[in-house]
Amino acid sequence: MAYGKHVTEILYGGDYNPEQWPREVWEEDMRMMRKAHINVVTLNVFSWASLQPSEDIYDFERLDEIMGMVRDHNLKVCMATSTGAHPAWMAKRHPDILRTEANGMKRKFGGRHNSCPNSPTYQKYAPRLAGLLAERYKNYDNIVGWHVSNEFGGECYCENCEKAFQQWLKKKYGTIEEVNRSFNTAFWGHTFYEFDEIVLPNYLSEHFGEDRTMFQGISLDYRRFMSNSMMECFKLEYNAIKKVIPDARITTNLMGFYKNLDYQKWAKYLDFISWDSYPAPEDAPATIAMNHDLMRGVNGQESFVLMEQTPSVTNWQPFNKLKRPGQMRLLSYEAMAHGADAIQFFQIRRTVGACEKYHGAVIDHAGREDTRVFREIETLGAELPHLKDILRARTPSEVAILFDWDNWWAVEYSAGPSIYLKYLDAIKDYYTAAFEKNVPVDIVSVEDELSSYKVVIAPLLYMTKTGVDEKLRMYVKNGGVFITTYFSGIVEEHDLVIGAYPGKLRDILGIWVEEQDALPEGEQNHFTYGGKDYPAKMLCDLMYLESARALSFYEEDFYQGTPVITENRFGKGKAYYVGTRSTAEFYRRFMENVFRDAQVYPVLNTPKDVEAAVRENSRGRYLFLLNHSKISRKIALPMDCEDMLEERAVAANSPIELPAMEVRIFRYK
């Protein structure tokens, strides 16, 4: 759930940084926001230096003034804690707050994401500021949320982190012998005798390139440790606020498929999920939706806040193309279709200096309300009140994709068989096939309950952590349909090989994979499926049937005639193994068959590039139709509906014209 139960409207607004402007501009900002139907601002994201000019001096005067003004203008507030970048004076006086890079380079003051998570200085001052803010503003009932730091991310390799890592390992493993076993240090004789012999895995030690490590075990644990270190920093601030305001709703803005942080672990400590969506111009609608679904998924499929998106352009991509007319609205509704309950922008007024001055904003450098972008924002702002019944509606999914950060890290640390093994590619293959069929998908963790799903897909499930095989075994036994792929079931949670592949999944899948043939770029094998020929790319598993039957066979090379896709009846369910990577066309066809067989039905059959998505709550069931194509499309509704934006009834089967980039939102009758 997003901003909490007392919020009864769809919040609309964004990051507002009046501290960058003289006071005379503020009133104009208020007028423009009102005109744009904005009702929420995120304040105080980057003011640490200003709030704390020195060790023990704090100055909230300007923030008081800002808070007073926005309350006077009936704006709700998402209150940031300002700890996303530390003050220059702090870096100078307490260099332990500065990070060290993977090549051992100790940083100086600059940028953001610049605090070492294991810095005593940071751990002291960040929660102290959060607590002081909570104390000072606890009585502002227009504060709908607290926003800790900003886009936690990056990593550190300083001496404090090294010591903390040694402690973390000691706590995790107990003995040095257990560390040695987990990292398989016997290989190359890296045996440790004391915890203080362990150094951080980076370019000074075990790493030799992007994601290239000589010891996967220690590198994996470093990722876990670093994600956890930052999470502990979040928790320090969280607790400081809660101590003052027990019912505060606290979040931090996440970043979708952000590799460094295991959001599935983080989400347990967030009161609600908020995230920043910055798709590249070339990102497909499915890719964008997949991010939303992940963000909904990390917190039990509850609705979330779209904390940031750009109204028009970004500034940091190589080519910062304008969002086309209608595109910002389309992307906003796509977010909502997948679970967003609030739509917010970065940023309200475009900054005049530093690296984001060419990043889009509600109020442009020209300061005019007749810009194309402002008018589109105003239009969307006027529509949202029609949709407030959708608040807290959920997505009814019968299909789950299993996603796991540990597995992501492990797959991409793997030395062999192919540098092209990319976890997100595999996830996207299957997600896109479902998306294009308008089949809603939940993206779940290995800890989530699976029994409610008809189909569970775990692409490239290389690592099977303790209990995962048993959960999947029970799921299939009880009638579930399970799909996994090449290079799955290989290792346990320390990245140690389990044995014959696919390890603990072998009985469920009914196969033994003997070898994996990694194809060089440009080479491929082929197979026939459903009467059509498809390429087998990147990796070809060579397998033997044990209890499974083969659905398709390799057509070339020395493994011609051996299985490539298998189906295994197991208990009341079925388990499929797809032993290679193929084309989007194949995944569409394959998933179509699986869905039909498993009685999973689309929300609606729509023309190409028109998305249909559904949310539902006690107030109704809502259908989103989004035309992602560049041409107008016709669609007939499955039943009598109410067009929520136009507030009029639409009869079942009456054809609806949906122009390019247009959106319609209906309530089922």
Among positions 590-629, residues that touch a copy of itself (CB under 8 A) are none
Return left, alpha or beta for 245; rule: phi > 0 is left, psi -120 to 50 is alpha, else beta.
beta
Q: What's the rounded Cα separation, in Å, for the pair 590 and 604?
A: 19
Report if residue 545 touches a copy of itself, rule: CB under 8 A: no
Is 594 or 663 the residue whose CB approaches a copy of itself more closely?
Answer: 663
- Distance, in Å, from the CA atom of 565 to the CA atom of 551, rounded to the nearest integer, reads 5
Q: Which one of the listed residues 151, 237, 492, 567 is annotated catalytic?
A: 151
Name the residue among 408, 510, 543, 547 with its Cα closest to residue 465.
Answer: 408
Task: Please tell me whether residue 397 adopts helix, strand or coil conformation.
Answer: coil
Site membership for a copy of itself, residue 59 (CB under 8 A): no
Distances (CA, A) of 660 to 67, 232, 620, 639: 41, 46, 27, 23
Q: Which of residues 418-447 bind a copy of itself (CB under 8 A)?
A: 418-420
Q: Which of the residues 184 through 203 are near a copy of itself (CB under 8 A)?
A: 184-194, 196-201, 203
Instruction: List residues bridging with 276 in a β-sheet.
Output: 308
Minimal distance, residue 34 CB to a copy of itself, in Å:
22
Q: Pick between residue 201 and residue 573 the one whose CB is nearest to a copy of itself.
A: 201
Q: Is 208 in the site for a copy of itself (CB under 8 A)?
A: yes
In this structure, the strands spanning 481-485 and 573-578 are parallel
> Rule CB under 8 A: is residue 118 a binding residue for a copy of itself?
no
Of these residues, 206, 308, 334, 662, which one is catalytic? 308
- Sole window of 49-57, 296-304, 468-476, 619-627 interacting with a copy of itself (rule: CB under 8 A): 49-57
- Which CB sits closer to a copy of itself, 239 or 320? 320
DSSP secondary structure letter of residue 304: E
Structure tokens at 549: 């039957």
Stretch that binds a copy of itself, among 255-263, 359-367, 548-556, 614-622 (CB under 8 A): 359-367
d(CA 213, CA 206): 5
Strand duo 563-570 + 620-627: pairing: unpaired
Please say which residue, 91 or 635, places its beta carbon nearer to a copy of itself: 91
Q: How many residues bind a copy of itself (CB under 8 A)?
A: 116
The footprint of a copy of itself on residues 234-293 (CB under 8 A) is 281-282
Q: According to the binding rule CB under 8 A, does residue 520 interact with a copy of itself?
A: yes
CA separation for the pair 30, 23 (Å, rounded): 12
Cβ-in-10-Å burial (0-12, 13-18, 19+) of 463 comes to: buried
Stretch that binds a copy of itself, among 67-75, 122-130, 392-400, 517-525 (CB under 8 A): 517-525
Measured from the CB atom, the residue of 278 and 668 that comes closer to a copy of itself is 278
Please say which residue, 171 or 354, places its beta carbon nearer to a copy of itself. Answer: 354
Distance CA 92, CA 88 (A): 6
308 catalytic? Reply is: yes
C-beta of 51 vs 598, nearer to a copy of itself: 51
Q: What tokens does 255 get?
A: 């970043």
Among 214, 584, 636, 656, the residue binding a copy of itself under the rule CB under 8 A is: 214
* Residue 69 engages a copy of itself in binding (rule: CB under 8 A): no
Helices (H), ranges, 2-139 = 23-35, 48-51, 61-72, 88-93, 120-137
Amino acid in position 283: D
Q: Does residue 124 touch a copy of itself according to CB under 8 A? A: no
Residue 210 as a binder of a copy of itself (CB under 8 A): the answer is: no
Find the part of the chain contacting a copy of itself (CB under 8 A) among 178-186, 224-232, 331-339, 389-397.
178-186
**What positions carry a catalytic annotation?**
151, 308
